[in-house]
């Protein structure tokens, strides 16, 4: 029986500012090689590769080998879960502010 590799939680993957910046860099839809991504950080290729591996485990990036070069592309679909979760709280606060405005206008 084969054991399915457990995917990393999307929230854990985007919790780190380095990984969020990597996603922003990939958000234009271009496929970028590791050396271009690494150039934007004050860390080595190994450290950037580890961050990209975490994003890959969360299915937030896809990887393609072109010769000896590794290229990365964003897969934004898993971020829909985050958007849905944040939207709930946006609605929550919009409602609370509206109630506060009503209370203040009555006084």
Report residue 106's pLDDT band, with 50, 70 and 90 as the boundaries.
Answer: confident
Cα distance between residue 47 and residue 50, in whole Å: 5
Task: Please tell me whether residues 69 and 92 are part of one structural domain.
Answer: no
Count how many domains the chain has. Answer: 2
Coil/strand/helix, residue 32: strand
**pLDDT (0 to 100) of residue 62:** 96
Domain that holds residue 94: 77-107
Residues 68 and 96 both lie in one domain: no
Residues 56 and 107 in one domain: no
71 and 84, same domain (yes or no): no
CATH classification at residue 42: 1.10.10.10
CB 48 within 8 A of CB 38: yes
Reported in sequence order, the residue ranges of 17-102 that DSSP labels E, i.e. its strands, are 32-33, 61-66, 69-74
Give per-residue burial for 16-45: e unless 16+ CB within 10 Å, then b. Answer: eebbeebbebbeeeeebebeebbeeeeeee
What is the pTM for the complete model shown? 0.79
- 107 and 56 housed in the same domain: no
Q: What is the pLDDT of residue 3?
A: 40
């Amino acid at each position: 029986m084969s054991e399915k590799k457990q995917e990393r939680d999307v929230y854990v993957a985007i919790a780190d500012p380095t990984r969020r910046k990597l996603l922003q860099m990939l958000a234009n839809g271009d496929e970028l090689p590791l050396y271009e991504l690494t150039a934007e950080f004050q860390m080595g290729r190994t450290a950037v590769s580890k961050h990209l591996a975490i994003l890959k485990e969360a299915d937030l990036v896809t990887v393609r080998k072109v010769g000896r070069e590794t290229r990365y592309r964003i897969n934004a679909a898993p971020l829909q879960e985050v958007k849905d979760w944040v939207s709930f709280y946006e609605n929550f606060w919009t409602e609370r502010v509206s109630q506060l405005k009503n209370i203040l206008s009555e006084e």
